[in-house]
Structure 1
Amino acid sequence: QVEASLPLHNDQVSMDTFKSKIKELFGLGEKVKIELFDRVQPDEDGNDINVVQVMIYQEGLPDSYLEFKGEEDIVSRIRRPVSEHAITYSSDTGTIEVVAAKQERRDTIAKAFTEDLLKQPVTADKVPLRRFDLMPLMENKPLDWDVEDGIESVQLVLMKIKDLAGDGRVQIEVPAKSNTALHEYAQEHFGEQNPLSTGGFAPVQAKINIRFHPENGHGRGKVLPVKISMPNGCDLRSRTDKERLIGEKYLKRWGLLEEIQE
């Protein structure tokens, strides 16, 4: 994660510098090819944002294999397989994602990309790799909590779901002050065609309100809204440390978040 709105420098000098550094990093072959592609992917709110994908193809170390020559002879052949690395960068969010076969290469590639193509010193924050899964919210199961966290109630207030056939999307939402739960509302209005239970839809976004008891027993309790978007969007990043810890604790408990240890 780096500062947002940093421009990508893809001029020839910058690209050559980046390519030369990649050649030196892993002790692989001298041949390196770099390609840039413009892509679109959803952000935390489900809106399309522009990203740049950088594909790196690097000649690997030689290895040998056996093959038949004719009907009886077996010969040894030498080949140099190509290693692939991929980077996606969004200037809107400042997020850099690196995919590489070996874990130790990921940080190295991210640092080289930041220094040579973003022209920034390497002061980026490493973001834990997370996997979100909203499928548990398709079932009408209670979202529990611990009394000691000062929580008064938890309410699922929004679900955006997509038709698995690719025909469209449906949004189901209830007011935060509603006494009717979202699943009850959907069942009441859709009946047997309830998209949450027909099996023909998959979730793409959800919003959960976590309401706390009023401080000192007076006034209104604070509400922590948590919005999750598939595949990896969540607005907890912008919250206070306390709110982020609470939110992440319960997203894990409810089966909506898995942190992948590297």
Structure 2
Amino acid sequence: MARILVVDDEVGIRELLSEILYDEGHTVDLAENAAQARALRNKARPDMVLLDIWMPDTDGVTLLKEWASLGQLDMPVVMMSGHATIDTAVEATRIGAMDFLEKPITMQKLLRTIASALERGRNAARPVAPPPAPVRTGFAPVLGSVAPALAPVPSSYAMADTSAPRMNHFDATPDVHAVPDTAGQALRNLSLDQPLREARDAFERIYFEHHLSREGGSMTRVADKTGLERTHLYRKLKQLGIELTRRRST
């Protein structure tokens, strides 16, 4: 999954996009203006940016021009607006924006555009393969005899890694019996005979309780382990009903 920076001055839009992207497995950073966007772009190095055009301090097109002029447009940027003209969209594309989303944005359009932008970004960042080495002719040995390359692999290399949780052959679900402590017991007791949303919330409660326990309640370390910003982590824990008053909030 990817790290996505959402830049929009409307809190409702930021939270909605954050929830959608989080549910898709992405890590999300939120900025309400250009100043925050600059700071997060330099600190978090996002894989892509969703950038609103109309913002109170600096508009999205001006920020896009700034990144382009500084050589900082090294990630896909998708512009968003509910009032932009065709000329504005064309100008943003000319500067370097990869796509344009018109508000209100449907979930299907959002996810399809993000997937396309991330794929194009990965292709652009993929290093060019070096040219093949010249083929030697004749019978002169190269780096010694070729016999070792034909020797069978020692049996010790073929042994399975038993340190990782075992996977079920049919559904690739981790074997919860390989998970120690109370998290493993909670996973074993997790009922799959319930709506998906409730099952996911139950799993997320187990997941975050596990990390809070392992990190001694340190929100800084839990945020680092789970890849969430502290503000998003606090909101997620509150949403899941996880009590924090008795924990250390460092």
Normalised TM-score (structure 2): 0.22
Relative contact order higher in (CA < 8 Å, ≥ 6 apart): 1
Structure number with the higher helix fraction is 2
Normalised TM-score (structure 1): 0.21
